[in-house]
């Protein structure tokens, strides 16, 4: 038995009153994935270049459409005029339109090819990351067993490890099954799309909407310390009083900027009326947070946030998933300047967030919640995942999600990282985090808004029996299922 788990003398060699002590916790460690790496910069340069090619293809499309229209008008006027030059005119115009169409097709195929290659790369990257994290956790097995069987072992650490490995292993088993039977994967995606459109989740989202109380439920002020952990410490007070917080940071160094924070889900039995109920989870997972986006917009209007203002989105657990979804919303993005998105312990989809927004995902190494979607976030030069290997024997398991998903546990991990970030992050990664921290200065005033779910009378009755009897809804569901399957096609192509 290792000598470091005993205090006092060694049994059999002297005093036999030696008492076993708890196994030493793992050293704090930080791992980063994605962000400003060489390969991500190369991909971003390629995508930026092909955006110009897409613009050229769109220009060719406009030219062809306009030329075809003009030709149609000339053709109608030339019907009654017989002249030996007219057939040649038709040939030359037809050749011109055909040439434009050929160039348009080639440009569009080039753009489509690069996009497909990029999505394939990101899909493979996400799966490799998922497998790599399973291997890292597998290497902790000896420590887990020691903590589990030792009288003073860290049971919360063992619990977090087992649940996380179960979620990771279960997700990987499902992916392997679908890779073996892609037809079943297609059927499952289609059934999920039909359920989302016409089942319980679709009805829930159509017949209900999330509203805020325009009068803040709580307000408070504090002085910013320029750190992420300091900001999140204060957001603990916001989560205690409401569902959406809007903070205004005023500093002599910059114009006022705004931080929006969204806390995690709050279960209250089968009650679906309060703002952070399971209805909000459905909105995040299946509805791209359409209801939460509107609620956040309403809260920002109530807080008198001007259009075009710099906005930082943050969220914990489900709130982080909402924040990532809001950042993808084109209407919201056209109204405000979304500078950063920061999530903590959030399940995420393998989807792209608009370039130019600095996105950071913090997660504990043994947090099972972040793996619930079976996906890893689509990383880029502007999007980084920071994994905190933070074991705290004093933090007990308080619910099914484990101690590693605990809000305070994660904030303490971020604080430890920031105190010695030169040991864990390179200069580019530090600059990435500074995109938030340089604005978190001066006096901060926070408005906390409460929200609730209300029924939309008649909203679920807009689909008639004829809609269900036609094939339109099935075609939509098949398309959605195919898109979802295509997004995860890297799994089915690994057999």
pLDDT digits (tens, 9 = 90+) for 349-389: 888 887 789 999 999 999 999 999 888 999 999 999 999 99
Rounded CA gap, 403 and 214, in Å? 35
Alpha-carbon distance 312 to 439, whole Å?
A: 9
Q: Where are the domains of the chain?
A: 38-135, 139-193+474-492, 208-455
CA atoms within 13 A on the CB side of 179: 15
Share of the chain above pLDDT 90, in %: 48
Q: Is the pLDDT of residue 91 over 80?
A: no
Report angle CA 192, 198, 202 to the nearest 5 degrees: 85
Per-residue pLDDT for 223 more than 60?
Answer: yes
Does the structure show a pLDDT above 60 at 38?
A: yes
In the predicted structure, residue 111 carries a pLDDT above the cut 80: no
State the pLDDT confidence band at 315, using cuts at 50, 70 and 90. Answer: very high
Beta bridge partners of 29: 389
Residue 306's alpha-carbon distances to 113, 221, 238, 336, in angstroms, are: 40, 20, 22, 8
| 3-state secondary structure string across the chain | CCHHHEECCCCCCCCCCCEECCCCCCCCEEEEEECCCHHHHHHHHHHHHHHHHHHHHHHHHHHHHHHHHHHHHHHHHHCCCCCCCHHHHHHHHHHHHHHHHHHHHHHHHHHHHHHHHHHHHHHHHHHHHHHHHHHHHHCCHHHHHHHHHCCCCCHHHHHHHHHHHHHHHHHHHHHHHHHHCHHHHHHHHHHHHHHHHHCHHHHHHHHEEEEECCCCCEEEEEECCCCHHHHHHHHHHHHHHCCEEEEEEEECCEEEEEEEEECCCCCCCCCCCECCCHHHHHHHHHCCCHHHHHHHHHHHHHCCCCCCCEEEEEEECHHHHHHHHHHHCHHHHHHCEEEEEEEECCCCCCCCCCCCCEEEEEEECCCHHHHCCCCCCCCECCEEEEEEECCCCCCCCCCCCCHHHCHHHHHHHHHHHHHCHHHCCCHHHHHHHHHHHCCCCCEEEEEEECEEEEECCCHHHCCCHHHHHCCHHHHHHHHHHHHHHHHCHHHHCCC
pLDDT tier at 77, thresholds 50, 70, 90? low
Distance CA 62, CA 419 (A): 56
pLDDT one-digit tens code per residue, 235-268: 999 999 999 999 999 988 888 999 999 999 887 6
pLDDT of 490 higher than 50: no
Structural fold of domain 208-455: Rossmann fold (3.40.50)
Q: Are 158 and 144 in contact (CB under 8 A)?
A: yes
- pLDDT level of residue 306 (50, 70, 90 thresholds): very high
Pairing of strands 310-316, 358-364: unpaired
CA 97 – CA 81 distance, rounded (Å): 23
Confidence of residue 493 (pLDDT cuts 50, 70, 90): very low
Answer whether 246's CB lies under 8 Å from 447's CB. Answer: yes
User: What's the rounded Cα separation, in Å, for the pair 53 and 17?
Assistant: 78
Beta-bridged to residue 389, according to DSSP, are 29
Phi-psi region of 328 (alpha: psi -120 to 50; beta: other; left: phi over 0): alpha
pTM for the full model?
Answer: 0.82
Task: Determine which of 220-234, 268-282, 362-376 has the lowest per-residue pLDDT on average.
Answer: 268-282
Q: Cα–Cα distance between 249 and 259 in angstroms, integer?
A: 8
Stretch 449-464: mean pLDDT: 71
Question: Tell me, what's the pLDDT at 198?
Answer: 67
- Residue 483 is predicted with a pLDDT of 55
Q: How confident is the model at residue 30 (pLDDT cuts 50, 70, 90)?
A: very high
Top pLDDT among 72 and 294 is at 294
Q: Which of 390, 461, 316, 464 is nearest to 157 (CA)?
A: 390
Query: Per-residue confidence at 51, pLDDT binned at 50, 70, 90?
Result: confident
Average pLDDT value for the chain: 83
Q: What angle do CA 464, 467, 470 make, to 5 degrees?
A: 150
Please state, in angstroms and as integers, the Cα–Cα distance from residue 167 to each residue in 79, 93, 114, 160, 203, following that order.
Answer: 71, 62, 33, 11, 29
Distance CA 440, CA 461 (A): 46
| Alpha-carbon span 92 to 80, nearest angstrom | 20
* 56-75 per-position pLDDT tens digit: 777 877 777 777 776 666 66
Residues shown for the chain: 495
Q: Can you say whether the dihedral through the CA atoms of 31, 37, 38, 44 is positive or negative?
A: positive
Closest to 203 (Cα-Cα) out of 194, 191, 213: 194
188-206 average pLDDT score: 74
Q: Is 155 left (phi over 0), alpha (psi -120 to 50) or beta?
A: alpha
- Asked if residue 420 lies in contact with residue 413, where contact means CB atoms within 8 angstroms, the answer is no
Contact (Cβ atoms closer than 8 angstroms) between residue 401 and residue 377: no
Contact between 378 and 352 under an 8 Å Cβ cutoff? The reply is yes
């Amino acid at each position: 038995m290792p000598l470091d788990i005993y205090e006092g003398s060694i049994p059999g060699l002297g005093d036999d009153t030696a008492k076993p002590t708890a196994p030493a916790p793992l050293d704090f460690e930080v791992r980063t994935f994605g962000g400003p790496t060489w390969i991500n910069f190369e991909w971003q340069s390629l995508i930026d270049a092909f955006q110009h090619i897409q613009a050229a293809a769109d220009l060719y499309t406009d030219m062809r459409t306009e030329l075809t229209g003009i030709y149609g008008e000339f053709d109608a006027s030339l019907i009654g005029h017989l002249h030996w030059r007219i057939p040649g005119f038709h040939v030359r115009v037809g050749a011109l339109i055909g040439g434009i169409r050929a160039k348009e097709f080639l440009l569009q195929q080039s753009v489509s090819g690069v996009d497909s290659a990029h999505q394939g790369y990101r899909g493979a990257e996400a799966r490799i990351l998922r497998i790599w994290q399973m291997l890292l956790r597998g290497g902790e097995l000896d420590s887990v067993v020691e903590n589990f069987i030792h009288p003073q072992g860290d049971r919360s650490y063992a619990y977090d490890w087992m649940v996380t490995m179960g979620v990771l292993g279960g997700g990987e088993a499902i992916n392997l099954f679908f890779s073996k039977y892609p037809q079943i994967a297609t059927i499952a995606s289609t059934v999920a799309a039909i359920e989302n459109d016409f089942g319980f989740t679709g009805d829930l989202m159509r017949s209900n909407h999330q509203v805020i109380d325009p009068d803040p439920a709580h307000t408070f002020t504090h002085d910013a310390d320029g750190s992420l952990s300091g900001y999140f410490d204060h957001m603990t007070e916001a989560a205690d009083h409401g569902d959406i917080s809007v903070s205004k940071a005023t500093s002599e160094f910059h114009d006022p900027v705004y931080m929006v924070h969204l806390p995690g889900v709050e279960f209250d039995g089968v009650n679906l009326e309060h703002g952070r109920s399971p209805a909000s989870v459905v909105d995040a997972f299946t509805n791209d947070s359409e209801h939460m986006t509107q609620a956040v917009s309403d809260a920002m209007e109530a807080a008198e946030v001007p259009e075009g203002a710099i906005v930082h989105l943050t969220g914990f657990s489900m709130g982080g998933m909402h924040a990532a979804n809001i950042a993808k919303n084109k209407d919201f993005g056209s109204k405000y300047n979304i500078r950063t998105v920061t999530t903590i312990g959030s399940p995420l989809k393998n989807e792209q967030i608009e370039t130019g927004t600095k996105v950071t995902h913090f997660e504990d190494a043994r947090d099972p919640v972040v793996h619930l979607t079976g996906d890893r976030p689509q990383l880029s030069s502007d999007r980084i995942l920071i994994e905190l290997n933070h074991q705290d024997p004093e933090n007990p398991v308080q619910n099914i999600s484990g101690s590693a998903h605990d809000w305070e546990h994660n904030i303490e991990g971020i604080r430890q990282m920031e105190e010695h970030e030169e040991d864990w992050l390179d200069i580019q990664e530090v600059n990435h985090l500074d995109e938030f921290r340089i604005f978190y200065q001066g006096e901060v005033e926070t408005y906390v808004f409460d929200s609730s779910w209300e029924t939309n009378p008649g909203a679920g009755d807009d689909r008639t029996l004829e809609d269900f009897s036609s094939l339109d809804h099935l075609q939509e569901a098949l398309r959605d299922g195919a898109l979802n399957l295509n997004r995860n096609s890297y799994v089915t192509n690994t057999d």
